[in-house]
Amino acid sequence: MITANPAPEAGTEARTGSSPVRAVTRRKKRQWLPYLLLLPVVVAELLIHIIPMLIGVGMSFLELTQFYIRNWTAAPAAGVGNYRFVLQFDEASGKALLHSFWTTVQFTVIVLALSWLLAMAAAIWTQHAFRGRGLVRTVFLVPYALPVFASVITWSFMLQRDNGMVNHVLVDQLGVTDERPFWLIGDNSFWALIVVEVWRLWPFAFLALTAGMSSIPAEQYEAAAIDGAGVLRSVRWVTLPNLRSVNQVLLLVLFLWTFNEFTVPYTFFGKSAPEQADLISMHIYQNSFVTWNFGTGSAMSVLLLLFLLAVTAVYLLLTRKKDVDA
Amino acid sequence: MRLKRITSAVAVSLVAASLAGCGGNEETSGGAAEDVTLTYWASNQGTSLENDQEVLKPQLDAFTAATGIKVDVEVVPWSDLLNRILAATASGEGPDVLNIGNTWSASLQATGALKPFDDATMTEIGGADRFLAGSLAATGAEGQPPTAVPLYSLAYGLYYNKAMFAEAGITEPPATWADLIAAGKKLTTPERWGMSIEGGSVSENIHNVFVFSEQQGGSFFDDAGKPTFDTPENVAGIKQYLDLIQTDKITNPSNAEYSNGTEALADFASGKSAMVMWQAAAGSLEELGMDPADIGVAPIPAPAGGEDVASIVAGINLAVFENTEHEQQALDFVEFMTSTPTQIELNGTYGSLPAVQEAYSDPAFQTEAVETFKSILDTRAVPMPAVPEESQFETLVGTAVKNMLAQAASGTVVTEQAISEQLAAAQQQLAG
Amino acid sequence: MREPTWFVWSRRIGLTLLCAFALLPVWVMVTTSLKPLGDVQGEFRWFPSTVSLDAFVEMWRTIPLGRYFVNSLVVSVIASVASVALALLAAYAVSRYRFTGRQLFSVTVLSTQMFPGILFLLPLFVIFVNLGRTLGIDLYGSRPGLIITYLTFTLPFAVWMLVGYLDSVPRELDEAAAVDGNGPMGAFFRVVVPAAMPGIIAVLIYAFMTAWGEVLFASVLTDESTRTLAVGLQGYATQNNVYWNQIMAASLTVSVPVVVGFLLLQRYLVAGLTAGSVK
């Protein structure tokens, strides 16, 4: 059984324990209330997310090419044909998908680690008031406020080989290398994409962690200080435990978003990414929107969904287990 | 011809109106023709979306004045156009009349979303022989009625910097590919390169290698529409392109990362390169600050003994959406947009070539540059493959070429063997 | 707590570097917006050799920037406020009640973040068009359609994040409020919402930015009159030329109100509310 939000269980026990009678009657009387509270979310999710997603799953079993896109019901059933096609790992198409998958896994892990570390450090540094804190926090959110199209294009300007800022600094001003490296194509393009993605993503993690730290009672830090804890120990023993449930969600969602990231690579590289930075979402885009073959694109998406579901289930199980151990 | 059609349209609509008056027809079809409003998705041809609105407005007003049919125009940016058409196709909710890139013709034709122009329909809008034969060849698959008609015609030309050529003592634009390479080597100095290319752009890459492969006598699809990517001719065509960087060294390796569709042209405009292969670029070059007197244009040369192909048939087509409720009015509009006066006016403003023969008698199109492009289009242009998998082919091979250019740019020579393997892989992926 | 010297110094250095990282592209945008078009793709310089404000004037003429801005603002504000409101209700239920289907709800909502957005696009569009045909609800090409879409995109994360923040609000608070004669909803609005304010603000900013920056769905679900900035900015890249300087000028201009909004909101991201009220 997957426990989505394990933390509250303990609290509930405590509550029912303290005044069992009232809690029981309240629970019975108000049984409809939680459902009523969920209703708007459920309706919206069904209409915009779940139903289109199920249609997407259905599409993966159809030979939904441009010949049938006008009249889906006429599209011949493909059975598992689309899946068989995309999973031919001994052919070029399957190899390309597998390559794209591994690239995405590496990309996601690195982006996730860097974004979280930067955000955590920045949130700890700005946790206690100092002069200019409001300004610094706002500056950190600037990358988030700029239209993604413009900011990603700007990065591609900066990373140009001949006229870019990065090579100007590295080669002309610092003289790190003589040969001007490429950043937008070839092996370095993977790292360039990571830098851009981290730049876009970390402010969000910073925001979420800052908000999480805001509700940690000051008394806990005071108590830790009385016990003689320094900065690092109070981070370890006060901040991190209090952020557990925020972090649990944050890391998972950052992972899911990064894995499915589309806008940044699409804007950064144009319609097709270099082999070294061919993320899975770009790959799916090319196999559906560009080619108008929605059958194979959907099959890839369903496989992706299954993979992410598995990762999420394992993640939730693991984070829950830790909770029990603790 | 046109007048007759429009008068008859008016007559028909009057009859319809009077019938509606008696019969109390349902709302949608009951109105007179005057009440019809066509939705028109125009592509971006001018200097901005707003500019397109301004350019089209007088024409649309004239159409409304003549026919009573109103036109609601939306200029759709190129970044959105294909996805908007896709959504319209899947849902049936779309415009009445729309512009499409002419290389999409066969792919869109296969969806059945566009109304076929059979012989009768073609006659109705003034006959197929009014159009440039070259442009008409890029309106759908062979053997099927076209699903679009040419609206704005374009072709690639070799733009060269006249001042740099004169300075290097080259009097004529290159007549063969070997001449071009020789000129390029002469023109390449520490400050500039012989030729700039948009090497990171999938569409520029595919257009270029398609032309080179045609010059070598190659073909990416056989007559039956089956893919034949991995042929010696295609390999030779791609190698001709890669060699600009890896063997001839007349192109800056940095060009391999140019992907936003402007950088190669900007290099040419600012004197960082002496040649560039581009479509109707004079307007943009002047806007980028280049002296018009320095701009020369000639056909892209072929290797000696090769096929005399200099360009793809580029341009914009006009199509009628199959789900339109106003077919008649939509066809009237197509006829109007392809009529000689409208063609002269619009193509004159946009810097493209008229799609109808008659328009060339206008003095505005009797310049040297227009004549060069017209002759390229008439005799040396080949349409992109008219197969449903066209866009897939463009993406797969264009991307492969982009990756090979990147490899060449970083100093690893791409061999014929490697090109052949890439093409085979691309062809396997097409099969899905 | 007294901060040790090493921490103060690490903070100074760390924050300076992070600010530089955040602002480096902004500097490039500023200098690019001040260049004449012909200079944009020239060699990199920290300061432009010729400065011109033309781009800031021209940008209004190239595309209907004002209209796009209003569209984006209306859509983003409504979608984000509505998203936070709905998500708060759901998060309160998940955080404070045990009920059948609670796990199912949480996991299903999360799973929507796993399917690539590009694959919903087409089914969603078809659903919108059919709703328009059968029920007369015009969602395609309209602001409500886009608002509902963005609202839904941000709900899953908003719910999950808010559950986390609400969990951190001590339960004794609602208990106490309930004892004081408020119903469960009264306790929620009077006590829990104020206590979770930093989290709510963070989620609000997230929901706003998602709607503000979304490109793919906006490109298909809007028409000329409802087009948003994120998509509309691409209008500076025309068939014949790309007006880089105007793209940068326009992006900087439209971002100013957003950054000012952050500046105003960020003071709610402070500790104290919870800490002060728990005894």
What is this model's ipTM?
A: 0.85
Question: Domain limits at A200?
Answer: 7-325
CB B281 within 8 A of CB B155: no
Q: How many CB atoms lie within 10 A of CB B37?
A: 15
Of A206, A36, A57, A40, nearest to C155 (Cα)?
A40
- Are A184 and B259 inside 8 Å of each other by CB? yes
> Can you tell me the distance from the alpha carbon of B107 to that of A42, in angstroms, rounded to the nearest whole number?
39
Of B114, B84, B110, nearest to B96 (Cα)?
B114
Touching A (3+ Cβ pairs <8 A), the chains are: B, C
Look at the block and give the residue holding tokens 């300004």: A135
> Can you tell me the distance from the alpha carbon of B242 to that of B208, in angstroms, rounded to the nearest whole number?
11
Backbone φ, ψ for residue B41 (5° rounding): -95, 110
Q: Find residue C276's DSSP bridge partners.
A: none
In a domain, C14, yes or no: no
Look at the block and give the residue holding tokens 């409020």: C177
The greatest distance separating any two alpha carbons of chain A, rounded to the nearest whole angstrom, comes to 78
pLDDT digits (tens), chain B, 432 positions: 444 444 444 444 444 443 333 333 333 443 444 589 999 999 999 888 888 999 999 999 999 999 999 999 999 988 889 888 988 998 888 999 999 999 999 989 999 999 999 999 999 999 999 999 989 989 999 889 999 999 999 999 999 999 999 999 999 999 999 999 999 999 999 999 999 999 999 999 999 999 999 999 999 999 888 999 999 999 999 999 999 999 999 999 999 999 888 889 989 999 999 999 999 888 888 888 899 999 999 999 999 999 999 999 999 999 999 999 999 999 999 999 999 999 999 999 998 999 999 999 999 899 888 999 999 999 999 999 999 888 889 989 999 999 999 999 988 999 999 999 999 999 988 865
Q: Is C249 on the interface with A (CB under 8 A)?
A: no
Confidence of residue C56 (pLDDT cuts 50, 70, 90): very high
Burial of C258-271, coded b for 16+ CB within 10 Å and e otherwise, reads bbebbeebbeebbb
CB C155 within 8 A of CB C87: yes
Mean pLDDT rounded to a whole number for chain C:
84
> Can you tell me the distance from the alpha carbon of A121 to that of C180, in angstroms, rounded to the nearest whole number?
41
- Are C62 and B287 inside 8 Å of each other by CB? no
In chain A, which residue's Cα lies nearest the Cα of C234? Answer: A149
Domain-wise residue ranges, chain B = 36-154+314-382, 156-312+389-430
Backbone φ, ψ for residue A120 (5° rounding): -65, -45
> Can you tell me the distance from the alpha carbon of B51 to that of B53, in angstroms, rounded to the nearest whole number?
5
Name the CA dihedral angle for B322, B324, B327, B330, rounded to a multiple of 10 degrees.
-100
Give the tokens for residue A164: 């870019």
Q: Is the pLDDT of residue C235 over 90?
A: no
Name the CA dihedral angle for A196, A199, A202, A206, rounded to a multiple of 10 degrees.
-170
Q: Find residue B195's DSSP bridge partners.
A: B275
pLDDT in tens, C57-86: 989 988 889 999 999 999 999 999 999 999
Confidence of residue A211 (pLDDT cuts 50, 70, 90): confident
CB B96 within 8 A of CB B114: no
In chain C, which residue's Cα lies nearest the Cα of A19? Answer: C175
Strands ordered across the beta sheet of B353-354: B70-76, B37-43, B97-101, B314-320, B149-154, B353-354
Q: How many CB atoms lie within 10 A of CB A1?
A: 5
Q: Is the pLDDT of residue A23 over 80?
A: no
Read off the DSSP letter of residue B293: G
Of C262, C138, C139, C162, nearest to C212 (Cα)?
C262
Of B410, B87, C107, nearest to A320 (Cα)?
C107
> Can you tell me the distance from the alpha carbon of A159 to that of C24, in angstroms, rounded to the nearest whole number?
12
Confidence of residue C2 (pLDDT cuts 50, 70, 90): low
Q: Is C239 on the interface with B (CB under 8 A)?
A: yes
> Can you tell me the distance from the alpha carbon of B308 to that of B302, in angstroms, rounded to the nearest whole number?
6
Please indicate whether the domains covering B36-154+314-382 and B156-312+389-430 agree at the CATH topology level.
yes
Q: What is the DSSP string of B206-256?
A: HHHHHHHHHHTT--SB-TTS-B--S-HHHHHHHHHHHHHHHTS--S-GGGG
pLDDT in tens, A274-296: 888 999 998 888 888 877 888 88
In a domain, A2, yes or no: no
* Cα-based angle B95, A266, B83 (whole degrees, multiple of 5): 10
Q: Which residues neighbour B27 within 8 Å (Cβ) at sequence distance 6 or greater?
A: none
Q: Is the pLDDT of residue C177 over 80?
A: no
Top-confidence residue, B268 or C131: B268
Q: Which residues neighbour C275 within 8 Å (Cβ) at sequence distance 6 or greater?
A: A215, A216, A217, A218, A219
How far C240 CA lies from chain A's nearest CA (Å)?
Answer: 17
pLDDT score at B96: 96
CB C146 within 8 A of CB C100: no
In a domain, A170, yes or no: yes
Question: Domain limits at C196?
Answer: 71-235+253-277
CATH of the domain at A290: 1.10.3720.10
Read off the DSSP letter of residue B25: -
Read off the DSSP letter of residue C154: H
CATH of the domain at C185: 1.10.3720.10
> Can you tell me the distance from the alpha carbon of B325 to that of B90, in angstroms, rounded to the nearest whole number?
17
Top-confidence residue, A211 or A26: A211
Confidence of residue A321 (pLDDT cuts 50, 70, 90): low
Residues of B at the C interface, defined by Cβ within 8 angstroms: 43-51, 74-75, 77-80, 83-84, 86-87, 90-93, 260-263, 266-267, 269-270, 283-284, 287-289, 351
Q: Is the pLDDT of residue C45 over 90?
A: no
pLDDT in tens, B21-56: 333 333 344 344 458 999 999 999 988 888 899 999
Confidence of residue A30 (pLDDT cuts 50, 70, 90): low
Query: For residue A42, what is the enclosing H or E element?
Result: helix A32-45
> Can you tell me the distance from the alpha carbon of B85 to that of B148, in angstroms, rounded to the nearest whole number?
14
* Domain count along chain C: 1
Per CATH, the number for B156-312+389-430 is 3.40.190.10
* Burial of A63 per CB tally in 10 Å (0-12, 13-18, 19+): middle
Q: What is the DSSP string of C2-67?
A: PPPHHHHHHHHHHHHHHHHHHHHHHHHHHHHHTS-HHHHTS---SS-SS---HHHHHHHHHS-HHH
pLDDT score at B22: 38
In a domain, A1, yes or no: no
In chain B, which residue's Cα lies nearest the Cα of A288? Answer: B392
pLDDT score at A4: 39
Give percent of chain C with pLDDT exceeding 90.
Answer: 27
pLDDT score at A12: 39
Give percent of chain A with pLDDT exceeding 70.
Answer: 89
pLDDT score at B34: 54
Q: Which residues neighbour C132 within 8 Å (Cβ) at sequence distance 6 or greater?
A: B93, C138, C139, C140
Give percent of chain C with pLDDT exceeding 70.
Answer: 95
Fold topology of B36-154+314-382? D-Maltodextrin-Binding Protein; domain 2 (3.40.190)
Give Cα A66 distance to the centre of its chain.
32
CA–CA distances in Å: residue C53 to residues B154, B284, C57, C59: 35, 21, 7, 10
Of B309, B342, B343, nearest to B216 (Cα)?
B309
* Domain count along chain A: 1
How far A125 CA lies from chain C's nearest CA (Å)?
Answer: 6
- Are B90 and C38 inside 8 Å of each other by CB? no
Please state the pTM of the whole predicted model: 0.86
Backbone φ, ψ for residue B196 (5° rounding): -110, 145
CB C174 within 8 A of CB A18: no
CB A122 within 8 A of CB C15: yes
Residues of B at the A interface, defined by Cβ within 8 angstroms: 82-83, 86, 89-90, 92, 107, 110-113, 200-203, 252, 254, 256-257, 259-260, 322, 388-389, 391-392, 395, 398-399, 402-403, 406-407, 409-410, 424-426, 428-429, 431-432
A-to-B residue pairs, Cβ atoms closer than 8 angstroms = 105
The beta-carbon neighbor of B50 closest among C62, C126, C240 is C62
In a domain, C60, yes or no: no
* Cα-based angle B75, C212, B40 (whole degrees, multiple of 5): 15
In a domain, C1, yes or no: no
In chain B, which residue's Cα lies nearest the Cα of C128? Answer: B91
Q: Mapping DSSP to helix (H, G, I), strand (E, B) and coil, where does residue B170 land?
A: coil
Identify residue B72 by its one-letter amino acid code. D
* Cα-based angle B159, B162, B168 (whole degrees, multiple of 5): 115
Give the tokens for residue B381: 């242009």
pLDDT score at B431: 66
CB C55 within 8 A of CB C33: yes
Give the tokens for residue B89: 């196709």
B97-101 and B314-320 strand pairing: antiparallel
> Can you tell me the distance from the alpha carbon of B373 to that of B320, in angstroms, rounded to the nearest whole number?
28
pLDDT score at B205: 95
Give the tokens for residue C170: 């001590």
Give the tokens for residue B230: 């991995």
Q: Is the pLDDT of residue A124 over 50?
A: yes
Give the tokens for residue B76: 């759709």
In a domain, C27, yes or no: no
CB B165 within 8 A of CB B274: yes
B-to-C residue pairs, Cβ atoms closer than 8 angstroms = 97
The beta-carbon neighbor of A45 closest among C99, C152, C161 is C152
> Can you tell me the distance from the alpha carbon of C155 to that of C162, in angstroms, rounded to the nearest whole number?
10
> Can you tell me the distance from the alpha carbon of C107 to that of A3, in angstroms, rounded to the nearest whole number?
9
